[in-house]
Amino acid sequence: MALLEVNDLTTTFATDRGPVRACDGVSFEVERGEVLGIVGESGSGKTIAALSVMGLVPPPGVIERGSIRFDGEELRGAPEHRYRDLRGRQIGMVFQDAGRALDPVHTVRSHLREASGRQDDHGALLQRVGLDADLLDRYPYQLSGGQRQRVMIAIAIARDPALIIADEPTTAVDALTQVALLAELMRLRHELGAALILVSHNLGLISRVADRVAVMYLGQILELSPTAELVREPGHPYSAALLRATVPLDGDGTRLEGVGGNPDSLLDPPSGCVFSRRCPHADDSCAMSRPALVATAPGRHSACHHLDRFAEATRGVGYGS
């Protein structure tokens, strides 16, 4: 049994311009101690997927369908007190923008006191994330972006959770700090033996640390594969496009291309395959019916009608070739 099993998760927002499916039939599993990367462009539903797992979908969003099992226990429809026992204790979350996720009128100490449930030893917790204990009495506005993000990480690990969800833990900081933060997060995860869901729009970053990667677009997972294989030989036209648009962290960036086309809107999703308006391999059948996410090789899953055609055209696109 996996630590986290998400099945057919569908989270919908009622808006003035009609319903928006931020997550649309999302399914994935996270094994104990595993690092799962979730990658996708802005607005693809990564944050909403994470918040759905936490039972914190903001109104007017509702989980319309699907199941979320943590350690075998169904969470969907679980009472609030049950969620409260899980949040922070079993699942720690690092928020996308630490500048907004830390309360401006509370000190670092006050945040850590809430997170750990303890009255002292907060300095030690700060030191674990590489910060000086002097910062305890600072307010969030008195910290740098990197320091704030580390405080967020300290909050997430305060009670040794079995799962850490890190939502773009490195977007708000510069490139050097990004690498340092990611290394810190990986080290802590390893110490705790915790599983990690690492959310990012940066496939290059994710591919360095994740065991498996889920590629999301418009609320759907289009490919879910072991990282090494996905990077060597992407199993979906969208993954291939993302990969071409990625600056390899150790490369010279000469291969950089855009994904092509503008990201679609959830308000007006394409019929059939969500990538059909931008896909170079699309034909009429793509706009007709939505391809299911199916196993294509051991451990690999992809949602595309024309994998054969795509495989033919893109041989040798990955990093590894």
Ligand X SMILES: Nc1ncnc2c1ncn2[C@@H]1O[C@H](COP(=O)(O)OP(=O)(O)OP(=O)(O)O)[C@@H](O)[C@H]1O
What is the nearest approach in angstroms of other proteins to the Cβ of residue 165? 9
Q: Which window, 49-57, 183-191, 239-247, 296-304, contacts other proteins (CB under 8 A)?
A: 49-57
Q: Does 108 bind other proteins (CB under 8 A)?
A: no
153 in Cβ contact with 143 (< 8 Å): no
Identify what 103 binds: ligand SF4, ligand X, other proteins, none; CB under 5 to 8 Å per kind.
other proteins
Kindly state the tokens that stand for 180: 């340092």
| Ranges of H-type helices in 268-306 | 284-288
Q: Which of 104, 298, 316, 320 binds other proteins (CB under 8 A)?
A: 104
Mask: binding to other proteins, 159-178, rule CB under 8 A, as x and -? x-------------------
State the residue for tokens 């699907």: 66
Q: Which of 14, 62, 77, 106 binds other proteins (CB under 8 A)?
A: 106
Rounded (10°) CA dihedral 214, 24, 263, 173 = -50
Interacting residues of 111 by C-beta distance below 8 A, sequence separation 6+: 102, 103, 151, 155
Kindly state the tokens that stand for 151: 């405080």
Interacting residues of 183 by C-beta distance below 8 A, sequence separation 6+: none
Residues in contact with Mg ion by CB under 5 A are 47, 96
Q: Which window, 41-49, 134-142, 229-237, 241-249, contacts ligand X (CB under 6 A)?
A: 41-49
Mask: binding to ligand X, 197-226, rule CB under 6 A, as x and -? ----x-------------------------
Q: Which is nearer to ligand X, 40 or 291 (CB)?
A: 40
Q: Which residues pair with 10 in a beta bridge?
A: 65
What is the nearest approach in angstroms of ligand SF4 to the Cβ of residue 279? 3
Q: Which one, of 236, 315, 320, lies nearest residue 278 by Cα?
A: 236
Interacting residues of 61 by C-beta distance below 8 A, sequence separation 6+: 11, 12, 13, 22, 48
Q: Which is nearer to Mg ion, 96 or 178 (CB)?
A: 96
165 in Cβ contact with 96 (< 8 Å): no
Q: Does 87 bind other proteins (CB under 8 A)?
A: yes
Q: Which of 2, 54, 180, 228 binds other proteins (CB under 8 A)?
A: 54
Helix (H) / strand (E) element for 38: namely strand 35-40
Identify what 279 binds: Mg ion, ligand X, ligand SF4, none; CB under 5 to 8 Å per kind.
ligand SF4
Q: Does 258 bind other proteins (CB under 8 A)?
A: no
Q: Does 20 bind ligand X (CB under 6 A)?
A: yes
Q: Which window, 10-18, 103-111, 219-227, 294-302, contacts other proteins (CB under 8 A)?
A: 103-111
Q: Which is nearer to other proteins, 92 or 272 (CB)?
A: 92
Q: Which one, of 275, 272, 279, 276, lies nearest residue 313 by Cα?
A: 279
Q: How far apart are the first and last CA of the chain?
A: 35
* 203: exposed, middle or buried (Cβ count in 10 Å: 0-12, 13-18, 19+): buried
Q: What are phi and psi of 233, to 5 degrees?
A: -150, 85
Binding residues vs ligand SF4 (CB under 6 A): 237, 273, 275-276, 279, 281-282, 286, 291, 304-306
Give the residues lining the site for other proteins (CB under 8 A): 51, 54, 56, 58, 80, 84-89, 92-93, 95, 97, 100-106, 114-115, 138-139, 141-144, 152, 155-156, 158-159
Q: Residues interacting with ligand X, by CB under 6 A?
A: 13, 15, 20, 22, 40, 42-48, 58, 61, 96, 201, 266
